[in-house]
């Protein structure tokens, strides 16, 4: 066997172990070991490799390297190019077992010269199908969580107290309007996203929760990267170690700006009704507005209409409110229907009392 012949290449210290020791390592290794020639022939395969590949050594040697690699997996091309360039390769790719099933293997390889100075490669492989599948499921789970956070306008965070490292979720970064590289991952960095007048209250609340090993709830104003202020609710808990020492703080943040605006609008409407019986404007529209078709606009629709009046396009509004452009179009259709308007300029005039000089500039979203 090739493994026996290669022992002569070992240094004098290693030779003291004798060829039997290296043969045992080869035979009993939990990882698959292959020796290959430059033309792709497999010269030897240890028992673990045969088990991974699901075939006896004679069949492994007959199949050759090209018969094992999944031709539809482009990762092999990159790894083989790496071996040509450096004499080594490593990575994860698919192989085809004897029964035709495909599995993911972690492969590492190094080229050497045998006793007569012929190039040979030692390939070590490990079946990582389960790990790759788990990682894929975790990635899909993270993607679903990110989508759920976006729909609910929520985010989460974790604060490692010992390292003072703050880890925000994608949803929290969306609330702040930040890319991950723009977020300073410390407590003070996170505190800078809080409206200045609210920072001391946030600091005090968290400090008290850590001291008492208790959960907490607070509402405060957050400042986005574009300077807009949002109202958020933050709920969390303190995690302690086995000794009872606080080690982490975890929390969930939700943007409740629209809910608060609607609540304030309802309060305003109730007050207006008391002052002017018989007139009850709907949430989101100012008292005394021209109601057109009479249906009330939501706080979100009023916000969109104001942005339209400011000259923003669908795409710009979607980016600013971190919603989809299709959602903006849907709200525009609702605004036109509720106000009985033929176009956006007319809706602005009816609701906001602002006459637009050039209605042609509002054609983008008329009718959706």
- Determine what percent of the chain is predicted with pLDDT higher than 70: 78
Average pLDDT, the chain: 80
pLDDT of residue 158: 92
Closest Cα to residue 36, out of 127, 116, 129, 114? 114
What φ, ψ does residue 326 adopt, rounded to 5°? -65, -35
pLDDT of residue 160: 95
User: For residue 147, what are its two tokens?
Assistant: 């989508």
- Specify which residues 217 forms β-bridges with: 235
From 38-47, 48-57, 261-270, 271-280, the region with the lowest mean pLDDT: 271-280
Q: Does domain 278-365 have CATH number 1.10.10.10?
A: yes
Instruction: For the domain made up of 150-255, give the CATH fold.
Output: Beta-Lactamase (3.30.450)
Q: Are 256 and 233 in contact (CB under 8 A)?
A: yes
Q: In the predicted model, what is the mean pLDDT of residues 69-80?
A: 86
Closest Cα to residue 257, out of 249, 267, 265, 248? 265
Q: Per residue in 96-124, pLDDT tens?
A: 998 999 999 998 888 888 888 888 888 89
Q: Any residues with CB less than 8 A from the CB of 367 and at least 6 apart, and which?
A: 333, 336
- Residue linked to tokens 């969580």: 145
pTM recorded for the entire structure: 0.43
What is the dihedral angle through the alpha carbons of 18, 20, 24, 26, rounded to the nearest 10 degrees? 80
User: For residue 130, what are its two tokens?
Assistant: 């389960």
pLDDT at 361 over 90: no
Q: Grade residue 291 by pLDDT with cuts at 50, 70 and 90.
A: very low
pLDDT at 360 over 60: no
Q: Per residue in 236-259, pLDDT tens?
A: 999 988 888 999 999 999 988 877
pLDDT at 309 over 50: yes
More reliable by pLDDT, 30 or 356: 30
From 109-123, 220-234, 312-326, the region with the lowest mean pLDDT: 312-326
Q: Any residues with CB less than 8 A from the CB of 274 and at least 6 apart, and which?
A: none
Q: Grade residue 17 by pLDDT with cuts at 50, 70 and 90.
A: low
Helix or strand (DSSP H, E) at 149: helix 129-152
More reliable by pLDDT, 133 or 107: 107
Highest mean pLDDT: which range of 71-85, 212-226, 265-279: 212-226
**C-alpha–C-alpha distance, residues 285 and 294, integer Å:** 11
Domain range annotation of the chain: 2-127, 150-255, 278-365
pLDDT of residue 292: 40
Class for domain 2-127, per CATH? Answer: alpha beta
Q: Are 14 and 87 in contact (CB under 8 A)?
A: no
Q: Could you check whether 2-127 and 278-365 share the same CATH topology?
A: no
- Residue linked to tokens 């001291």: 211
């Amino acid at each position: 066997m090739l493994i026996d012949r290669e022992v002569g290449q070992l240094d004098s210290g290693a030779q003291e172990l004798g060829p039997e020791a290296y043969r045992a390592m080869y035979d009993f290794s939990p990882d698959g070991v292959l020796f290959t020639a430059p033309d792709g022939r497999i010269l030897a395969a240890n028992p673990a490799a045969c088990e991974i590949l699901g075939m006896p050594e004679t069949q492994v040697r007959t199949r050759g390297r090209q018969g094992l690699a999944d031709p539809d997996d482009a990762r092999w091309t990159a790894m083989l190019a790496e071996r040509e360039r450096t004499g080594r390769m490593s990575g994860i790719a698919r192989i085809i077992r004897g029964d035709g099933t495909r599995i993911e293997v972690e492969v590492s390889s190094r080229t050497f010269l045998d006793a007569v100075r012929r190039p040979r490669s030692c390939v070590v492989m490990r079946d990582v199908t389960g790990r790759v599948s788990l990682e894929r499921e975790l990635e899909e789970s993270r993607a679903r969580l990110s989508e759920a956070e976006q729909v609910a306008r929520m985010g989460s965070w974790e604060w490692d107290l010992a390292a003072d490292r703050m880890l925000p979720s994608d949803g929290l970064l969306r609330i702040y309007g930040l890319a991950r590289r723009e977020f300073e991952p410390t407590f003070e960095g996170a505190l800078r996203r809080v409206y200045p007048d609210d920072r001391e209250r946030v600091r005090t609340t968290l400090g008290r929760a850590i001291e008492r090993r208790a959960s907490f709830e607070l509402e405060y104003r957050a400042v986005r990267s574009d300077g807009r202020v949002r109202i958020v609710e933050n709920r969390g808990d303190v995690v302690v170690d086995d000794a009872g020492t606080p080690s982490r703080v975890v929390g969930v943040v939700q943007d409740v700006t629209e809910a608060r605006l609607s609540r304030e609008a309802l309060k305003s409407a109730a007050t207006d009704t008391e002052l002017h019986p018989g007139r009850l404007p709907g949430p989101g529209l100012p008292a005394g507005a021209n109601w057109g078709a009479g249906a009330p606009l939501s706080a979100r629709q009023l916000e969109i209409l104001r942005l339209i009046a400011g000259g923003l396009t669908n795409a710009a509004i979607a980016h600013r409110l971190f919603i989809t452009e299709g959602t903006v179009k849907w709200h525009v259709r609702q605004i036109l229907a509720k106000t009985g308007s033929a176009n956006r300029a007319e809706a602005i005039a009816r609701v906001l009392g602002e006459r637009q000089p050039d209605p042609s500039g509002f054609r983008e979203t008329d009718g959706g």
